[in-house]
Amino acid sequence: MPANLSDLISVAKGEMSADLIISNAKIVNVFSGEIEYGNVVIYKGEIAGIGDYTQAKNVIDLKGKYLAPGLINGHTHIESSMLDIEQYARAVVARGTLSVITDLHELTNVSGLDAIRYVLGEIRRLPLDLFLMAPSCVPATHLETSGARITSSELRRIMRWKNVIGLGEMMNFPGVIYRDNSVLDKIDLYRDKIIDGHAPGLSTRDLNAYVSAGIYSDHESVTLAEASEKLKRGMHIMIREGSSEKNLEELLPLVTDKTYKRCMFVVDDRSCFDLLNDGDIDAVVRKAIRLGLEPARAIQLATINTAEYFGLKRLGAIAPGYMANLIVVDELSNFNVDMVFYKGKPVAREGKPLFDIKPSNVKRPVNTVNIKSFRVADLKLKAKGETSLVIQVVPGQIVTKKETQKVKIENDVIVSDILKDILKLVVVERHNASGNIGRGLIKGFGLKKGAIISSVGHDSHNIIAVGTNDSDIYTGIREIERLQGGIVVVADGRVLGSLQLSIGGLMSVEPMETVVAKLQHLKEIASQLGATPPEPFATLSFMALPVIPELRLTDLGLVDVTQFELVE
C-alpha cells in the first residue's frame, strides 16, 4: 500500500519517525549529475526526504558508499534469458535492475494472450516492476508462421490492463512506411501513448515517414551516423548492449552534453549466462564507464532518462516522493552492486537475492511443439544452378549480409560445404503442424560436423537448425519435439547434449544456475564441433528474424528483408 500522504509529509518534516534511514551515503543525484553526501529517509516504501534525519525504526550506515536509483531496463525480452520469470527476477534484481519494460512478444508469438497473463500473474509476487508494451507484431510479418495473432481488437483489450504503458516495438517498418491498414490501425489505437520503434537502417524520407507515425524510439542503430540521424529526427536512442547485439562502443560518442537526455541503455536480449556472470543493465553501465563515460551520466542513462521517456513517475531518481528503489555501490568506477532495496526493503546483497520464491498456481504455456510428420529426404535443398543465395553472419551483430556463392552439389542436391563454411540452414514450422519447411544456406557458423537445433527462432519461434548434414538436423528436430522445446546438439546421429525449454519452447522450469550450467556445456560441445560464434545459440535464433536486414530464413522460405519479400 502507498504511504499515507499526511504521514509521508510528517516524516519529511522530521515530525514523525521513518521506517528506515540510509545514512552517510554518497547520493548520485541524476537531476544535477552531482554527488551529494547525506541521509535518505524512507517511509512505507517511499523516499520522504534527503538531509540530516535521525529518527527511524532502522538505520543502515553506508559509511561513505554510493547510493544510486534502482536501474531500469528500457527494452528487453525476458524470454531470451531462457529463464522462467521468477528465476529471471533472481538474476536481474541481484544486479540492481528493479524495473523492466518489455513487450513479451516472444512468448506471445507462441501462446498469445495467455502468455502475457502468465507473466503478469507471476510478476505480482516478485520484487521487480514490469511495465508492458503491448506486442505490436504478433506475428512480426506475413513472411513467417507464428503460433498466435494479436489484432487491433486484442490490443484494445490489453490497453486496459494494469501497467500497460504503450505499444511495443513496431518491427513491421515496411507496413508503416507503405501504409498497411492493419499496422496503422494498431498505431492509431496507441497514438496517445508511447510507441517503441524498430527501424534498422532507415534513413532520409523512409525514416521521416516512420517517425511521423509517432514512433519515437529505436534500439536497432548499429552505426553512429544512423543513430545520429534518428536522434535529429526526434527519436530517443536506446543504446543496446546484449549478448549477441553489441552497439555500445560504436554509439557511445553520441552521448554529449547536448544529446544525453535523448539516450538510454537497454540490453534487448541477454542470455542467462551473461546475467549470472556479467550482469544486466549494471554491466552496460560498467562498460560505458570503462569506455570513458562519466559515471553519473552513465547512471542517468540507466535510470532517469528511461523513466522520463516512458512516463514512469516516481521512478529513476533519489528524491522526495520517489519510490525507494535503490542500489548501493562501493565504487562508481567498477560499479559492482553491493545492496539492493525494493520499495525500501533489502532484496539482494553481494549479488545474491534475499527473497524466496514460492510455488505458483499460475498455468504455464507448455506443450507448444506441434510438428507435421516428415522424412529426412524432405530436408533436401534442390540445386537450380551452380550458385545460390547464402546468409552471411556478421560477427557481433544480428544484421546479416546477402551473398551469392558457388555451392557444393551432389545428385542435383545442394549439400553443406564444410571447407567453405557454407552449411545447411533449416526452419520447421512447429505451431500448427502445417508441414512448412524453409531450406537455405548460411556462412559463418564454422561447424565441421554435426548440427545445432533450437526451438528459439525469433520472432515466431519455429524450430531452426544449422548443420553439416540432413541426418543430424533431422535427429535434432525429433529430439526438440520429444522435449517439447529446447536446444539440442547432435553429431553422428547421437544427441550430445540438450537443454529443455518447456515453457513455450523458450524458457526453462529449472533454477538459473542449472540452466546456465547446461547452456555452458552445450556451448562447449558446439565449440568442439567447430562453431565459431561466441553465442552460437543466440546467433542462430536471429537467423529466422525477417525484420532485420539483409537475408533471413523462415518456415516459408528465404526472405530478402531489404525488399521485404520471399525469394528463391
| pLDDT tens digit sequence for 438-488 | 999 999 999 999 999 999 999 899 999 999 999 999 999 999 999 999 999
CA distances to 496, 520, 521 from 525, in Å? 8, 9, 6
pLDDT above 80: residue 418: yes
β-bridge partners, 428: 437, 463
Q: Which CATH class is domain 5-64?
A: mainly beta
Q: Which CATH superfamily is domain 71-311 in?
A: Metal-dependent hydrolases (3.20.20.140)
Q: Mean per-residue pLDDT for 98-102?
A: 98
This prediction has a pTM of: 0.93
- How far apart are the C-alpha atoms of 203 and 238, rounded to whole Å? 17
Higher pLDDT, 137 or 264: 264
Q: Cβ contacts of residue 436 below 8 Å, gap of 6+?
A: 145, 428, 429, 462, 555, 556
| pLDDT tens digit sequence for 268-280 | 989 999 999 999 9
- Tell me whether domains 5-64 and 71-311 share a fold: no
* DSSP 8-state assignment for residue 35: E
| pLDDT tens digit sequence for 142-172 | 899 999 999 999 999 999 999 999 999 998 8
- My answer on whether omega of the bond before 295 falls inside 30° of 0, hence cis, is no
The reported pLDDT for the residue numbered 2 is: 77
* DSSP 8-state assignment for residue 436: -
Cell of 91: 538474476
pLDDT above 80: residue 568: no
What radius of gyration do the chain's Cα atoms show? 24
Give 209: exposed, middle or buried? Use CB within 10 Å, 0-12, 13-18, 19+. middle
- CB 243 within 8 Å of CB 271: yes
pLDDT band of 140, cuts 50, 70, 90: confident
pLDDT above 70: residue 1: no
β-bridge partners, 184: none
CA distances to 112, 216, 372 from 118, in Å? 10, 29, 27
- How far apart are the C-alpha atoms of 321 and 213, rounded to whole Å? 35
The reported pLDDT for the residue numbered 362 is: 80
Q: Mean per-residue pLDDT for 507-532?
A: 96
pLDDT above 90: residue 46: yes
| pLDDT tens digit sequence for 298-335 | 999 999 999 999 999 999 999 999 999 999 999 999 99
- How far apart are the C-alpha atoms of 304 and 153, rounded to whole Å? 33
- How far apart are the C-alpha atoms of 267 and 435, rounded to whole Å? 35
pLDDT band of 244, cuts 50, 70, 90: confident
In the chain, the N- to C-terminal Cα span, in Å, equals 59
C-alpha closest to that of 287 among 327, 240, 353, 345: 240
* DSSP 8-state assignment for residue 1: -
pLDDT band of 136, cuts 50, 70, 90: very high
The reported pLDDT for the residue numbered 62 is: 97
DSSP string, 342-406: ETTEEEEETTEE-S------PPP-----------GGGG-EE-SSSEEEEEEE-TTSS-EEEEEEE
- How far apart are the C-alpha atoms of 151 and 185, rounded to whole Å? 9
Q: Domain map of the chain by residue range?
A: 5-64, 71-311, 376-567
pLDDT above 70: residue 231: yes
- How far apart are the C-alpha atoms of 108 and 342, rounded to whole Å? 28
Percent above pLDDT 90 for the chain: 92
